[in-house]
Chain A
Amino acid sequence: MRLVGVTAALAAAAMMLVGCAVKPGIPYDRTVAQVKTIGVLTPKFPDGPVVPLASNVGQSFGLIGALIDAGMQAERESKLTTMLKQQQFSVQERFLATLTAELEAKGYTVAVLPVPREAAGFVEQYPASPPTKVDAYLDIVTTAYGYVAAGIGASSPYRPLFSMNAKLVSANGASVLMQETIVYNLVRPRAGMFGDPYEHVVTVAPDPSHQFRNFDALMADPPTATLGMQAAADRSAQTIGKLLQ
């Protein structure tokens, strides 16, 4: 069972870090869209944080090395999850609160609409009769959050990670008014013969005040680690606000 779980973690980490080529975004035109009230659907979040090493020696030594690496990653993630709970920090709540404030500051009326999020991606059917009349739905899928290091060593510290896909859809579902992929602290694989799969990602550079030379240092400073997670959530929510200004 543990081997299955570790293998699944390995596959998920690989997909998260490498993924597929991101398509070009769709820019928003506020003057034409005439959106005054935005229905923010419950953002989709993964079950817990990720703490990958984007590259390390274990990955270079076949399946056994990769499985060992995945096991170590799962252990880091368990520790970070426990730490964030002990700090009484919810990244979901923080993100939604900042997003709501940002949109209101931009002049929108915001209605938070709880919806079930069983599917992995965007909502398949938007509410036909929401409790509050809205002009558009903001659908956000957070694909990963946590901490990531590009490699091993002090020159590749752990920094917060937050990645999401965001889409604004007209209330009748007929038009995609805005769509982008946003990543705070993107660890970019070097472009190969097929180009850069993250060419179209909106990137937010990490705040250098939230970094740790290794995972032990991160665990030894829960308040700063939590602040880093908070900053990643805030900056990501602010980026959506900018896209809709």
Chain B
Amino acid sequence: MSAISLMTARHIVGAALLAACVGCARSSALPPTLSLDANPCTAEPNLAGATPVPLDSEKPVTVTVDAVASCLRAENGERRSYAVFLLPETQSPYLVSVTSLLRGATLLSPRLLILDSQGKLARERQRDAFMFRGTSLYAGIRAYPGDRYLLVESDPATVGQRVSQVSSSTQTTAVATGTGGVFFLGTGGDVSRTLIYAHNGTLVVTLRPVPPAN
């Protein structure tokens, strides 16, 4: 291989690395947990173990829900995995965002509940309130003074369902011309993926103030 072509090859590799996604999402695969029948579940969530979340949009809290460690058993026998978060004490309402991230093909199928300091239900968002943002499921809810806990549970009615999703994307890659210049090549393509709703997965919770009306 000549010196010029070797240099060109290095430029192309280098340019490709530059074009690589610096902010690539955490997407390591997680096998889906589709049944909690063998798990020792409790009737009430462990509120004492709640993960605190600050009222700061720059400080989201990420939790991986381990279906073995945290499991609730409802009166009707339904079993749900859960994660509980400690909300800040405030004088003003604020916004709560809950996102379930795709882990390989596994997507925790969530519902969320806001509880007061006694653990009593204040308001909730059922599973059908969650919407896709790309491959993530998201729901938002408003929290008010007196709200103390955010409980995110898996939704047994949808666990095990498989969803096919087509998504399109484009990217721009810098390519060396071999004569010292660079041009940018645009390409695009489609990806078809199958998501599996599960009892386990990764949740991201973000709190932020209500923006002023505009």
Residues on A lying within 8 angstroms of B by beta carbon are 17, 24-27, 29, 31-32, 53-57, 59-61, 148-151, 155-157, 159, 169, 173-176, 185-196, 198-206, 208, 239, 242-243, 245
B167-A205 in contact (CB<8A): yes
A25-B140 in contact (CB<8A): yes
B189-A174 in contact (CB<8A): no
Q: Separation in Å of the B162 CB from the closest CB of chain A?
A: 14
How far, in whole Å, are A173 and B208 apart by their CA atoms in the complex?
22
Q: With A24-B57, A60-B185, A203-B133 in contact, do A173 and B213 touch (Cβ < 8 Å)?
A: yes
Q: Number of B interface residues, CB 8 Å?
A: 43
Q: With A155-B190, A190-B21 in contact, do A150 and B168 touch (Cβ < 8 Å)?
A: yes
Q: With A24-B57, A173-B213, A208-B166 in contact, do A189 and B23 touch (Cβ < 8 Å)?
A: no
Residues on B lying within 8 angstroms of A by beta carbon are 21-24, 57, 95-97, 123, 128-129, 131-134, 138-142, 144, 164-172, 183-190, 208, 210-211, 213-214
Q: Separation in Å of the B191 CB from the closest CB of chain A?
A: 10
How far, in whole Å, are A60 and B174 apart by their CA atoms in the complex?
10
B21-A191 in contact (CB<8A): yes
A to B contact number (C-beta, < 8 Å): 135
B213-A175 in contact (CB<8A): yes
Q: With A205-B165, A208-B166 in contact, do A27 and B133 touch (Cβ < 8 Å)?
A: no
How far, in whole Å, are A31 and B123 apart by their CA atoms in the complex?
9
B166-A203 in contact (CB<8A): no
Q: With A24-B97, A169-B213, A190-B169 in contact, do A202 and B131 touch (Cβ < 8 Å)?
A: yes
B140-A188 in contact (CB<8A): no
Q: Separation in Å of the A242 CB from the closest CB of chain B?
A: 7
Among A29, A54, A193, A199, the residue within 8 A (CB) of B141 is A29
